[in-house]
Chain A
Amino acid sequence: MVEKTITVGVNGMSYTRTVEPRMLLSDFLRQELTLTGTHVGCEHGVCGACTVLLDGRSVRSCLTLAVQVDGSEIETIEGQGEIDRLGRVQEAFRQHHGLQCGFCTPGFIMAVTDLLRHHPLESDEQIREALSGNICRCTGYENIVNAVRELARERGPLT
């Protein structure tokens, strides 16, 4: 397999690596860049655990090839806050107990980050619909919805 050299911005840092064309973006982040905060739950694009932002919009990193993101900017969970200085979305999840085992959490945080930028999130029904691309097996979603409702209220209407 002919390897390809790519340059990708991840959380504001630029990385150049040579990879097989078939390498998944999720494997690239986890194995090549050792950014293991992005989790892999199904490898077929259903569960959303591997969600990252690609040029500002959420994508499944398990359905994206690393070579596809050559020249792009990726945001992952590692860029959202520090363990002692959580980002606002992370803090809201903690406040509302929107996580239990934490495995799906990075995907949710990234998806919600995108939703807050682009989605009206005006009612619980809209919030639940918007979150339906991510599976959580622990929380029953109610506390995640509570966290997102609070974040949407803070944000106000989309302009």
Chain B
Amino acid sequence: MTDHQHPAELRPKMVGTRVKRTEDPRLLAGMGQYVDDMSPAGTLHVALRRSDQPHARILKIDVGEAFSVPGVVAIYDISDIEGEIKPAIPTSRLPGYYATPNWPLARGKVRYVGEPVVAVVAESRYAAEDALEHINIQYDPLPFAIRQVDAVKDDAPLLHEEAGTNTIIRREFKRGDVDAAFEEAAVIVKGRFRMTRKTAVAMENRSYLAEWDGRKQSLTLHTSSGSPGIIRDVLSSCLDLPGTRLRVVAPDVGGSFGAKGSLYPEEMLVCVLARKLKRPVKFISDRLEDLSATSQAFDELIEAELAVTSNGMLIGLKADVIGDVGAYSIYPWTAALETVQVVSFLPGPYRMEHYRGRIRGVLTPKPPTGPYRGVGRPSSTFAMERLVEMAARELNMDPVEFRRKNLVRAEEFPYRTASGIIWDKSAFQECLEGACEKADYAALVRQRDAARREGRWVGIGLASYAELTGIGSRISVAPGMPINTGTETSKIEIDATGAITASFGISSHGQGLETTLAQVIVDELGCKLEDIQVRHGDSALVPMSSGTYASRSAVLGGGAATLAARVVKGKVLRAAAFLMEQNVDDLDIRDGIIASRQSNLTMTLKEVASAVYTQMGRIPREQREDLTASETYDPYLGTACSSTHLAMVEIDPETYGVEIRRYVVAEDCGKIINPMIVDGQVHGAVAQGIGAALLEEIIHDDNGQAVAASLADYLVPVAGTVPNISIVHIEADLPNNVGGFRGMGEGGTIGAPAAIANAVSDALAHLGVSVETLPITPERIFQLLRDKALAGQPIQTPT
């Protein structure tokens, strides 16, 4: 039997295979093209004078001798450009919400240190920066509340007077009778949890290049955005340009992790300036600007309490959360995105009948918060998983057994959480078991106990969570954001040479989607991998372009690719059936060769394409179909991706440095398209989670100044701080979507902070301290222990 005679289901599949990435050769050869690698003739460079005040009225801007610097072309503040662009308004349906207008430069007031105020445009960045030195801005400092606990107060100074309050987000989720549950509880544990402010630190800084085409009166923005389609749509409205005259392209993009997925002032600015000056205009952020003006994350203060029965069943959860959203509500996600998800996901993957979770999101004079890998769930999982381990400890129960009792079981799906999220069937219990088995939990506990007897500070921590991924229109509509995140389009075209172009609205910035989406198409269409070119990251490719965020691209992009490939395959086979004089049901296509089960006849895809497009007369007019399809996929709901992380740490009793000794992830991401890429996403996300747990922190002092000004202050993990990670993939029932995929790119960042916090707490348990603030730096451990010591409790050796 020749290969093509195998029944379809027995053939080797591309999906599930460790295919080397097609994007790699260009990136490895230094031939990638990131925005800053493009320099069209005549490009002008922008440098920005940014606010050094947290909250102040702008009184006067004096450019001094700035124009004397050779190469300076123009200097602008908002008054020079506000007639040429409308602000972006991040709308939301949330009651009581205030949508801060977002302008390219500060207007009237500055509201955080780092906010752009004056733009210098020059022939080189060197000249533009020289000119900045001459500019003097006079401010009238205004009162401000830099901490959310102060900003939330009724008499706090207002950042946006038009809002009438700093509290622009209010949301509450309620189910059952939470007060009664707490009255019945045998054990109540509580904490005041906080993951401090962090930022994404993509290795490529934000980069924008706008080109005005005077001949076509059109604008092209090259941007390091993760969501070029969303940016096109909003800029179309801000700049009053139809989509035909505004194209937004994300070329190779050097990481985003959510932070490049929002609209930025500088992105608006280069567009206005390119149109105004009729020359290409480029802005490339430096790292200081990245640390002080790229969107930030976390920074919620979570006061939470958990009620548990004497036999270890979770019965009630209460939370009061104040989220520090920064100075503006970010477009398009709004300040509600992260904050509301903290309370909507807080009950986690557990059965929880009685819940009350309240969030208030308050404006503070800091850079805006925005999406960051995991969105809300790193903080909610940290709080919940700490409570779970605190409760287990209180009841003297093993934390694994405690979770086993409370995680939603296979027969309980679909499970509606207390906040209304529907978990479809996912391997909650199996991930817990899988992680414990992989780590040999019992042996690990023995090792830990043996180490403790030697006086070493060793601890084990777990974290179980679920996230909602690949959301469709039903879920996407809920927050009332000004975008559609619930559908995705794939356009597949076979041209006259037999080559295949597959275009998408998604936008890859490290995820390897050029490879994985091609893998999906190979299996569905029956072509060769090398014949497919996947195009993405360009608003001109499909009518509703979007981007890559929210763990959606495998589910929605893969689903759309599947649907479009099926349609194209049908057209190819119908044409081939006519040409080969065979019954279409007897034909199949594999590796680009169409073969019949009833004869030895074959045709190549290239021959069929040539017959369809160029050899007129071979197929009658009424039977001829272009070998193209455009299909939009809407999964309607979303699908749960679940995981358990397990960490063992050792703390140096002298330096208080935390070392991770063992790290295991068990996760259910549905059908795996490329195991190599999935493992890479887990490794990278866990590394970022380790950063959030141990290192990364944006600090604003009481004067509102950002303390971290470089990567020597803002520490991210390096090779020496990240351990090897053992990964267990559990493929339980596949989700009810087209491809059977679950989104998985964010998960590691959700589980790692909680697992490490639990492990550190376990290692320090004998000292009577518990981790409630992350990152748990050596200094924080020192402070915890010193506070205990001051309270009269001597430090003991572990028992």
Binding site for B on A (CB under 8 A): 20, 22-23, 30-31, 34-44, 46-47, 49, 76-78, 80-84, 86, 90, 93-95, 97, 99-106, 109, 124, 127-129, 131-145
Contact = CB atoms under 8 A, between A and B. Distances in A.
Contacts of A84: 25
B32 interface: yes
B174 interface: no
B680 A97 contact: yes
A145 B719 contact: yes
A139 B680 CA distance: 6
B749 to A, nearest CB: 11
Contacts of A143: 679-680, 683
B594 to A, nearest CB: 30
Tell me which of B24, B34, B204, B257 has the highest count of chain A C-beta atoms within 10 A of its own C-beta. Answer: B24
A82 B29 contact: yes
Contacts of A127: 719
Nearest to A144: B719
B772 to A, nearest CB: 26
A146 B725 CA distance: 12
Interface string B254-283: 110100000000000000000000000000
A47 B711 contact: yes
Contacts of B624: none
Contacts of B512: 100
A6 B722 CA distance: 42
A10 B700 CA distance: 43
A137 B28 contact: no
Interface in B716-751: 716-720, 722, 724-725
A134 B253 CA distance: 19
B683 A139 contact: yes
Interface stretch (B184-192, B489-497, B684-692): B684-692
B26 interface: yes
Contact of A131 (B21, B718, B725): B718
15 contacts: A38-B30, A46-B710, A83-B26, A101-B203, A102-B23, A102-B510, A103-B202, A104-B203, A124-B724, A131-B720, A135-B203, A137-B203, A138-B680, A140-B686, A141-B683
Nearest to B284: A40
Contacts of A34: 39
Given A100-B255, A128-B720, A86 B511 contact: no
B203 A97 contact: no
Contacts of A102: 23-24, 27-28, 32, 252, 254, 510
Nearest to A82: B29
Given A137-B688, A139-B683, A105 B28 contact: yes
A86 B28 contact: yes
A129 to B, nearest CB: 6
A43 B720 contact: no
Tell me which of B27, B203, B716, B717 has the highest count of chain A C-beta atoms within 10 A of its own C-beta. Answer: B203
B755 interface: no
B403 interface: no
Interface in B20-58: 20-21, 23-34, 36-37, 39
A137 to B, nearest CB: 5
A145 B201 CA distance: 21
A90 B28 contact: yes
Given A31-B39, A105-B28, A139-B680, A47 B203 contact: yes
Nearest to B511: A100
B650 to A, nearest CB: 15
B294 interface: no
B516 to A, nearest CB: 12
Contacts of A137: 200-203, 255, 257, 684, 688, 716
A56 B414 CA distance: 61
B469 interface: no
Contacts of B287: 41-44, 47
A83 B27 CA distance: 9
B29 A138 contact: no
Given A94-B24, A101-B510, A103-B34, 16 more contacts: A23-B126, A37-B32, A38-B30, A80-B29, A83-B31, A86-B28, A94-B28, A101-B203, A101-B253, A103-B32, A104-B203, A109-B28, A131-B719, A132-B720, A141-B718, A142-B722
A63 to B, nearest CB: 13
B700 to A, nearest CB: 21
Tell me which of B286, B717, B718 has the highest count of chain A C-beta atoms within 10 A of its own C-beta. Answer: B718
B677 interface: yes
A99 B23 CA distance: 10
A47 B257 CA distance: 18
Nearest to A84: B25
A46 B711 contact: yes
B509 interface: yes
Nearest to A37: B30
Given A44-B711, A140-B683, A142-B724, A83 B25 contact: yes
B661 to A, nearest CB: 13
A67 to B, nearest CB: 14
Contacts of A144: 719
A138 B24 contact: no
Interface in B168-212: 200-205
A139 B34 CA distance: 19
A46 B636 CA distance: 45
Given A20-B126, A22-B126, A106 B30 contact: yes
A27 B426 CA distance: 50
In the A-B complex, the 3 residue pairs with the closest CB atoms? A37-B30, A103-B254, A102-B27
